[in-house]
Amino acid sequence: MANIHDVAAKAGVSAATVSRFINSSGYVGAKTRTKIREAMEALDYVPNSMARSLRTNESMIVALVIPDVTNPFFPTVVRGVDDVASKSDYRLMLFNTDGSKRREENILSVLAQTRVDGVIVIPSETVGDAQITDFLEQQRFPIVLVDRVIDFPQVDCIMTDHYLGAYQAAQHLCGLGHRRIAHIAGPRRVVSSEERVKGYAAALNDFGIPVDQSLVVHGDFTRYTGYGSLDSLMNLPEAPTAVFAANDLMAIGVIERARELGIKVPEDLAVCGFDDIEYASIVSPSLTTVSQETYRLGKLSAQLLLRRIAEPDCEVRRIKLKPNLIVRESAARVYQHTLGRW
C-alpha cells in the first residue's frame, strides 16, 4: 500500500506539500496539485482519514456544541477538544447556541441527521431539560456532556466541581470579614449557575451568615449583566461590601461599573469571579477568581469521546475536576474602608 512518501517521490515534491494538499491546510500551486493528484491515482493512494472513513463508514468528523462563542471560557474548551481530535485525524464541526434553547434544538436535530462520529455538548440549559434528555436517549452516536452536566447515567461527562468552587470564593470573602456578600449568579436552569448558588449559600451558612435573597441576583454570564447589577445592589438599604460573580465576565462588568460610580475595588468593594479566563490577571485590579482547568476539560472530553467511538461498550466515565481559588487584587486582604479593618 503506497504511503504519503511514495506519492511525494512520484510527484517530485515533499511529503509536507502532499500533506498540505490532502488536508487543505496551506497553499499548493495548481501545477503541483495536478502532479500530486496524478501520483495518488497512479499509486492508488488514499489518505489515512479518507481510507479509514471508506473502510469503517466513519465520517472522521466530531461535533462540539457550545453556548457562547464570545465568552473566552468556551474557545479554550474548543482548543482542548481540537488538539486531541486533530491528532487522531478527526475534523471538528463547531456549533454555537448563544444559550438559546431554540437554536440548540435546531442544532441537535441537524446533528441527528448528520454523519458525525460523535458529539460533545455544553448544553445551554440542563436543569430539568427534556430537549437534551430526548437527544441523549435517542443518541445515534457517542455523546459526551461537558461543564453543565445533568444526571444521565449512560453518558460520559466531565465538569468542574462548581459547588466547591463557589464555596471557596464565598469562604474567602467571609474570611476577609465580609458579612454583606452579594452573589451575581448565572442564568437560571443552568447547572453550573445553580450549583454555584448552592456553594455560595453553604459557605455563608458555615460562617453563620443568613443568606439575604436581596443580595442574590441572576445575570446571563456576560459582562453587561455584571455591570447592570451593581447599581441596584449598591442602592440596597444595607449595601454589600463584597460581590461574588458566577463568572469572570460578570465580575469584570462589576469592576467597570464600580469605577464609574467611584467605588474603589477592593477597598470599598471586594470582587471575586469564576473561570480564571486569560484576562483575569490582566484587568486592573487583577481579578480574584476560581480557576477551572478549562483546556483540560476540552482535552479530556475529546479523549472520552474518541474512546467511546473506538469502544462503544466501555464503562461510562463521570469526571469532576477540582476548582482552585486564585487570590489577586480585587479581593485581597487590604484595609477595607467599609469594614473599618484589615
| CB 20, CB 47: distance < 8 Å | no
> Distance between CA atoms of 256 and 224, rounded to whole angstroms?
10
Interface with ligand RIB in residues 270-299 (CB under 6 A): 274-275
Measured from the CB atom, the residue of 59 and 330 that comes closer to ligand RIB is 330
* Residue facing ligand RIB at closest CB distance: 192
Taking a C-beta distance cutoff of 8 angstroms, is the pair 73, 294 a contact?
yes
Q: How far apart are CA 272 and CA 251, in angstroms?
A: 6
- Per-residue binding letters, 107-146, with ligand RIB (x by CB under 6 A): ----------------------------------------
**Which among 205, 289, 302, 201 has a CA at the least distance from the CA of 250?**
289
Q: How far is the CB of 250 from ligand RIB (least distance, A)?
A: 8
Q: How far is the CB of 6 from ligand RIB (least distance, A)?
A: 48
Q: How far is the CB of 213 from ligand RIB (least distance, A)?
A: 22
- Residues from 139 through 198 that contact ligand RIB (CB under 6 A): 147-148, 192
Shortest distance (Å) from residue 71 CB to ligand RIB = 5
**Which residue lies nearer to ligand RIB by CB, 17 or 71?**
71
Cβ-based nearer residue to ligand RIB, 49 or 126: 126
What distance in Å separates the CA atoms of residue 1 and residue 48, rounded to the nearest whole number?
Answer: 11
Q: Between residues 69 and 236, which has the closer beta carbon with respect to ligand RIB?
A: 69
CA distance 25 to 256: 41
**Residue among 342, 339, 305 at smallest CA distance from 88:** 305
The one among 71, 225, 229, 288 contacting ligand RIB by CB under 6 A: 71
State which residue, 39 or 77, has the beta carbon closest to ligand RIB: 77
Interaction between residue 76 and ligand RIB (CB under 6 A): no
- Closest CB to ligand RIB among 219 and 266? 219
Output 86 or 96, the one with its CB closest to ligand RIB: 96
Contacts of 106 (CB under 8 A, 6+ apart): none
Q: Kindly write out the interface string for residues 199-228 of this chain, putting x where it contacts ligand RIB by CB under 6 A and - elsewhere.
A: ----------------------x-------
Which runs of E-coded beta strand occur in the chain? 61-66, 91-96, 118-121, 143-146, 156-160, 181-185, 216-218, 242-245, 270-272, 289-291, 318-321, 324-326
Please give the Cα distance from 166 to 44 (Å, whole number): 58
Q: Which residues bind ligand RIB (CB under 6 A)?
A: 71, 73, 147-148, 192, 221, 247, 274-275
